[in-house]
């Protein structure tokens, strides 16, 4: 009986050891042959000790630790995706040990595969998994740069010019995904753009974190706009920023961006109908954010007071969508002006009607003279 019990304990211990070893090897990247992906789940430090230095692994295999560390992928660690590499790496097994995005992003993969874009590019064609940010952390301009890798800007402009009024302006102010996916919940993201010093005719570029930090000094770059430091930008603070002579080289560029990005890339007929965006009225366009570049390449969004883009002049002086961001006060002034033009016809016309007998009588007298 004792022997049977001992055997059972030994077998159980052996099974537990084997299960534990297998789990650790699959999920965490255990040690093989003297090389380690990292001691525990989510650690990529050992990988980055080589791959974080371009001189060690070459430009192609270099992973920028600052950019990577910010990604969600960093939280699960290199081995979670690169599980095909065995313990002989780097001396033995080479290559990427290809990751399959579907392990985690199955629903997005299915949506993307069903879209008209699915056959044309893999996930990696657009996304760099070592730099990827969440939708709210990426600038609208950067998403367009992804598209521009394959879609020649001149060709895209020519195609849109055929049917879209102000095509150049639309493409400048919108990320492609706003129209070419079934994304929902649009907001206005306001980016700080900067003119190069001394170059009056230089196109405005997105201001970098370093450029803004230089202006802000030792303070947080948000303090350039959010003066009271409450992590919220009021319309008054926006006005002050836009009027501040010290920031003459800076402007705010607004872009209408989907809050929930979809991967259902397609050409949507309702986007060809301008009223999809332009006829939804001012009430729908009141949510906006200041998007500030961070050192790690992501963008930090800070909420702006509702209705900022509807401000008549200085809230967002360079952002206006016809029909959608019109100002109510200007509407009232305009109505008063038009009504003023009716005063003469209505008032004078009424007196003219009342005096018609007198005028007719006088006319007859004049003709008899």
Partner 1 sequence: MNEKKMIYLHPTPVRIWHWLNALGIITLCVSGAQIRYPEYLNIFGSYRGAVLLHDVAGIVVALSFSLWFFYYSFGPHTLARIYVPTAEDLKHGVLRQAFYYFFLYFFGHPNPHHPTPDNKFNPMQKSAYLAIMFVLVPLVSLSGILLMNVSPLRELVLAAGGLKLLVGLHFLLACSLTAFLFTHVYLTTLGKTPTAHITPMWTGWEEDEEHGTTEQPSGQRI
Which of 36, 14, 13 has the alpha carbon at shortest distance from 24? 36
Which of 165, 176, 177, 35 has the alpha carbon at shortest distance from 92? 35
**318 contributes a contact to partner 1 by CB under 8 A:** yes
Residue keyed to tokens 């009607």: 353
CB of 252 to partner 1, least distance (A): 10
- Tokens coding 345: 């016809």
Contact between 315 and 238 under an 8 Å Cβ cutoff? The reply is: yes
CB of 239 to partner 1, least distance (A): 11
In this structure, the number of other CB atoms found within 10 A of the CB of residue 298 comes to 23
**54 contributes a contact to partner 1 by CB under 8 A:** no
**361 contributes a contact to partner 1 by CB under 8 A:** yes
CB of 360 to partner 1, least distance (A): 8
**172 contributes a contact to partner 1 by CB under 8 A:** yes
Stretch that binds partner 1, among 98-106, 145-153, 225-233, 350-358 (CB under 8 A): 350-358
Selected binder of partner 1 within 265, 289, 299, 319 (CB under 8 A): 319
**295 contributes a contact to partner 1 by CB under 8 A:** no
**334 contributes a contact to partner 1 by CB under 8 A:** yes
**363 contributes a contact to partner 1 by CB under 8 A:** yes
Selected binder of partner 1 within 1, 154, 246, 358 (CB under 8 A): 358
**251 contributes a contact to partner 1 by CB under 8 A:** yes
Stretch that binds partner 1, among 19-27, 100-108, 174-182, 332-340 (CB under 8 A): 332-340
Stretch that binds partner 1, among 24-32, 108-116, 120-128, 338-346 (CB under 8 A): 338-346
Selected binder of partner 1 within 86, 168, 205, 230 (CB under 8 A): 168
CB of 221 to partner 1, least distance (A): 23
**160 contributes a contact to partner 1 by CB under 8 A:** no
Tell me the DSSP string of 127-150.
--TTT---GGGS-HHHHHHHHHTT
- Could you give the CA distance from residue 224 to residue 220 in angstroms, rounded to a whole number? 8
**229 contributes a contact to partner 1 by CB under 8 A:** no
**323 contributes a contact to partner 1 by CB under 8 A:** yes
**148 contributes a contact to partner 1 by CB under 8 A:** no
**328 contributes a contact to partner 1 by CB under 8 A:** no
Stretch that binds partner 1, among 40-48, 57-65, 137-145, 360-368 (CB under 8 A): 360-368
Selected binder of partner 1 within 3, 40, 218, 275 (CB under 8 A): 275
Residue 77 region by backbone torsions, left for phi larger than 0, else alpha for psi between -120 and 50, else beta: left
Alpha helices (H) in 118-255, listed in sequence order: 123-126, 140-148, 153-161, 167-173, 176-180, 209-216, 235-243
- Could you give the CA distance from residue 238 to residue 306 in angstroms, rounded to a whole number? 12
**243 contributes a contact to partner 1 by CB under 8 A:** no
Cβ-based nearer residue to partner 1, 116 or 153: 153
Contact between 99 and 81 under an 8 Å Cβ cutoff? The reply is: yes
SS3 of residue 369 by DSSP = coil
Q: Measured between alpha carbons, how far is residue 37 from residues 23, 88, 99, 108, 360 in Å?
A: 15, 11, 15, 28, 105
**338 contributes a contact to partner 1 by CB under 8 A:** yes
Cβ-based nearer residue to partner 1, 297 or 307: 307
**154 contributes a contact to partner 1 by CB under 8 A:** no
Q: Which residues are within 8 A (CB) of 167 and not within 5 positions of it... i.e. 6 or more apart?
A: 157, 160, 161
CB of 177 to partner 1, least distance (A): 21
In this structure, the number of other CB atoms found within 10 A of the CB of residue 186 comes to 18
Q: Is omega for the bond preceding 290 within 30 degrees of 0, making it cis?
A: no
- Tokens coding 135: 């939708």
DSSP-assigned letter for residue 207: P
Residues near partner 1 (CB under 8 A) are 163-166, 168-169, 172, 201, 203, 251, 273-275, 278-281, 311-320, 322-323, 326-327, 330, 333-335, 337-342, 344-345, 348-349, 351-352, 354-355, 358-363, 365-366
């Amino acid at each position: 009986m004792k022997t049977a019990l001992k055997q059972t304990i030994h077998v159980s211990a052996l099974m537990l050891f084997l299960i534990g070893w297998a789990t650790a090897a699959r999920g965490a990247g255990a040690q093989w042959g003297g090389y380690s992906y990292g001691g525990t789940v989510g650690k990529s430090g050992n990988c980055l000790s080589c791959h974080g230095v371009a001189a060690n692994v070459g430009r192609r295999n270099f992973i920028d630790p600052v950019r990577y560390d910010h990604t969600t992928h960093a939280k699960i660690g290199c081995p979670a995706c690169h599980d095909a590499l065995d313990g002989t790496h780097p001396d033995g097994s080479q290559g990427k040990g290809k990751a399959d995005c579907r392990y985690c992003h199955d629903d997005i993969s299915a949506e993307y595969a069903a879209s008209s874009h699915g056959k044309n590019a893999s996930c990696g064609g657009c996304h760099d998994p070592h730099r990827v940010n969440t939708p709210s952390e990426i600038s609208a301009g950067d998403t367009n740069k992804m598209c521009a890798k394959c879609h020649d800007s001149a060709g895209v402009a020519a195609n849109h010019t055929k049917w879209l009024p102000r095509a150049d302006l639309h493409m400048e102010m919108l990320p492609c995904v706003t129209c070419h996916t079934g994304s929902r919940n649009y907001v206005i993201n306001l980016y700080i753009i900067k003119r190069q010093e001394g170059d009056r005719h230089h196109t405005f570029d997105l201001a970098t974190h370093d450029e803004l930090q230089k202006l802000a000094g030792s303070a947080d770059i948000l303090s350039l706009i959010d003066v009271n430091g409450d992590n919220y930008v009021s319309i008054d603070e926006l006005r002050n920023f836009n009027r501040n002579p010290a920031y003459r080289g800076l402007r705010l560029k607004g872009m209408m961006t989907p809050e929930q990005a979809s991967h259902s890339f397609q050409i949507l007929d309702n986007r060809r109908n301008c009223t999809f965006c332009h006829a939804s009225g001012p009430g729908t366009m009141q949510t906006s954010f200041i998007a500030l570049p961070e050192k790690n390449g992501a963008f930090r969004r800070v909420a702006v007071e509702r209705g900022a883009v509807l401000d008549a002049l200085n809230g967002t002086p360079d952002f206006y969508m016809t029909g959608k961001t019109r100002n109510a006060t200007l509407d009232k002034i305009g109505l008063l002006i038009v009504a003023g033009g009716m005063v003469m016809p209505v008032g004078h016309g009424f007196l003219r009607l009342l005096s018609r007998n007198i005028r007719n009588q006088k006319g007859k007298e004049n003709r008899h003279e």
